[in-house]
Amino acid sequence: MNIIIVGCGKVGYTLVEQLNGENHKITVIDILEEKVRTITDSLDAMGIIGNGVSYQILLEAGIESAHMLIAVTGSDEQNLLCCAVAKKAGNCQTIARVRNPIYSMEIEFLQRELGLSMVINPEMASASEISRIFQFPSAVKVDTFSKGRTELLHFRVTKDCLLNNYELIHIRTTLKCDVLVCMVNRNDQVIIPRGGDFVFREGDRVAIIASPTAANAFFRKIGIGSTPIQTAMIVGGGNIAYYLARRLLSVGIATKIIEKDSKRCDLLSEMLPKATIICGDGTDQDLLMEEGLDKVDGFAALTGLDEENILLSLHAKKVSHAKVVTKVNRITFSGVMNDLNLDSITYPRLLTADNIIKYARSVNNASMDSNVENLYKLEDGKVEALEFSIKENSAVTGTPLMNLKIKKNILVCCITRNHQVIIPGGQDEIRVGDSVVVVLTNARLHNIKDILET
């Protein structure tokens, strides 16, 4: 596809970086020459210096033949106007990043009236991710499929966990758990276990797929706490904190926010009357203990400084038993971050890029007659989880999975049929109307039939 990206900040750079692997023709626009050069000098993209709202600049970028325009400048209003102009000039798919909470209740109106294909709010997406993690304290990351009926949960095998030195086959035969292990990350090497004799080790990062009920039962049996949190402390009162507190309060979780800006505290008190708002320095250890850090169930470090969030999270892990979530926006030293052994990390920038790329992939798949409905990139892009919609009979339907010649490093993880979640065994088969989740490494699939050896 021909894709135009307006805004060459952190999100714009990440979008170009990830879309480069999708064989698209990409043009970037920004008013700052150095930002455009940063992308064009290191990535495969054309660059134009100018205002992306300008009709002439959009014409120069090829808007008349563009398939998609993505506006991710620092201004919500500029992003919306840019998309509106692009829609009139080229009738392409348009995506706008909109961050201000003032628009959060108007997204559907804006999308409908401006003809937007997608509106993405990074802070709201991060709050949603943290909320899901708090609902599954055993997990370090949670992805959803089949409209929330199926969860892909990532967790670590600890020294005292039942899975340590445990064979895979015993999850079904001994524990009687209806979950499927679809991926294990061991020392940065991704393994898709196919044999029942696979043995888990301490430090493994494991991904399972299951219904929410089955996942909770599994975590209880292996000795990892699965009780949802009842109390939460948030340090930093920005937009993510607002969206997160709103979600937590709506499900009855007592929420406390510590923010040092008094005017922001007044605003938060008005917007979140049921939350406890503390005006103070969240890096003050005495203040944190006075406010009950050692007793809370969940802790989120959401200040504007990555380094501060990391230190706060390490401190919270040391003095409490809370589930800890750390916001990181700039640092990408994933190896170093893993060594710190933080519970869960949320990257608003990467979440934004991932959501946009998922949409771009779905548009591209539609043009290629693909049946991919959903896509998640896992483990720094080393693994993909794809959700397929089965619309017609083919070589994969009507045959037990054990009789299909499925390619190496591909695993059929879940089948959703008539709103029922099936964790498949060898005797199960794929049928028309099913939604099927497949996890894979080192491959690219556009159609469910591509899972088979040729």
What are the backbone angles phi and psi of residue 372, rounded to the nearest 5°? -75, 125
- pLDDT band at 189; cut points 50, 70, 90: confident
Q: Residue 168: is its pLDDT beyond 60?
A: yes
pLDDT for 338:
65
Q: Identity (one letter) of the amino acid at 64?
A: E
pLDDT for 146:
64
Burial of 452 (0-12, 13-18, 19+ CB in 10 A): middle
Element (H, E) at 268: helix 262-271
Neighbours of 32 (CB within 10 A): 11
Q: Point out the least confidently predicted range of 39-48, 241-250, 298-307, 402-411.
A: 402-411
What are the backbone angles phi and psi of residue 280, rounded to the nearest 5°? 180, 175
Q: Residue 148: is its pLDDT beyond 70?
A: no
- pLDDT band at 101; cut points 50, 70, 90: confident
**More confident position, 352 or 41:** 41
- pLDDT band at 312; cut points 50, 70, 90: very high
Task: List, in order of start, the domains of the chain with CATH numbers.
Answer: 2-120 (3.40.50.720), 138-221 (3.30.70.1450), 231-346 (3.40.50.720), 368-451 (3.30.70.1450)
Of the segments 363-372, 374-383, 428-437, which one has the largest average pLDDT value?
428-437
Under a CB-based contact definition with an 8 Å cutoff, are residues 366 and 347 in contact?
no
The residue ranges of DSSP E strands in 115-176, in sequence order, are: 118-120, 141-145, 150-156
pLDDT for 177:
86
Q: Identity (one letter) of the amino acid at 298?
A: G
Q: Express each pLDDT in 103-117 by its tens digit.
A: 888 888 988 888 899
**More confident position, 295 or 388:** 295
Which has the closest alpha carbon to 412: 390, 391, 393, 392? 390
Percent residues over pLDDT 70 in the chain: 94
Neighbours of 112 (CB within 10 A): 9
- pLDDT band at 334; cut points 50, 70, 90: low
Cα-to-chain-centroid distance, residue 172:
29
Cα angle 382, 325, 291 (rounded to 5 degrees) comes to: 175
Percent helix, strand, coil in the chain, to 5, is 35, 25, 35
pLDDT for 48:
96
Q: Where are the alpha helices (DSSP H) in 43-106?
A: 55-61, 76-90
Q: Express each pLDDT in 421-432 by its tens digit.
A: 888 888 999 999
Cα-to-chain-centroid distance, residue 328:
14
Q: Residue 340: is its pLDDT beyond 80?
A: no
Average pLDDT, the chain: 88
Report the distance separating Cα 190 and Cα 206, nearest Å.
Answer: 10
Q: Express each pLDDT in 291-305 by its tens digit.
A: 999 999 999 999 999
Neighbours of 54 (CB within 10 A): 15
How much is the average pLDDT of 400-413?
A: 89
pLDDT for 342:
81
DSSP string, 287-350: HHHHTTGGG-SEEEE--S-HHHHHHHHHHHHHH---EEEEE-SS---HHHHHHTT-SEEE-HHH
Burial code (b: 16+ CB inside 10 Å, e: under 16) for 375-412 equals bbbbbeeebbbbbbbbeeeeebbeeebeebebeeebbb
Q: Express each pLDDT in 317-327 by its tens digit.
A: 999 989 999 99
Report the distance separating Cα 223 and Cα 299, nearest Å.
Answer: 22
**More confident position, 368 or 341:** 341
Neighbours of 141 (CB within 10 A): 19
Asked whether the whole model's pTM tops 0.75, one would answer yes
Report the distance separating Cα 330 and Cα 308, nearest Å.
Answer: 12
Q: Express each pLDDT in 195-237 by its tens digit.
A: 778 999 998 989 998 877 888 888 888 888 667 789 999 999 9
